[in-house]
Amino acid sequence: MTFTTGCLSTLRCLGCGYNLSCEGLAWNCSCQIILKSLVYNHMEKTALTPGEMAKARKKLYNFTFFSIISFTLLSGNIITLFSLRMGAGNFLIGLLSSFMYISYLFILIGRSLVKKYGLVKLMGRFWLLRYLSMIPILFAPIFALYNFWLAAYVLIVISVLGFNVARGIATTSYNPILGEITTG
């Protein structure tokens, strides 16, 4: 397993106990069990300039504003009221309510995807996917209008589940990004 860092120190692998030395800019170990937090603590940080931090904070404020509005409208009580208006039963309402908590399980998947996409790209892609997953719910009232209740309920379930799964994956990146642009 290889980790790219900018340090010149050593690290002990938790899998085999082998002392890893920094070979150029990468840590190497064949057993692939390295305590990642130790590697992250040794990483050399690239500091943002004050201008870049101010620009990033402004973008974060705008993002947070729209995120709060969308989460309020697309999750929780609004979806419950929408589903009740369409005649959903207790089981469906309970299922939809549970998706918000299921999203926390997908943080683990998000952690594994950070290596592949990076923090910013991961958050951007899955936040966009989060919003795109709610498009099918727009067609639920049309199906309900023509008495295709099962199709309407399936669209609601798929949309809300997709929204919360993408939210859970993207949440992995939020705190590290927030910490990067607010420190200093």
d(C-alpha 8, C-alpha 39), whole Å:
12
What pLDDT, in 10s, does the model give residues 21-38? 544 444 455 544 443 433
What pLDDT, in 10s, does the model give residues 77-112? 889 999 999 899 999 999 999 998 999 999 999 999
Determine the length of the chain: 184
For the chain, which residues make up each domain, given as ranges? 2-42, 50-182
71 is written with which tokens?
């989460």
Amino acid identity, position 45: K
Burial 12-21 (b: 16+ CB within 10 A, else e): ebeeeeeebe
SS3 183: coil
pTM of the model: 0.69
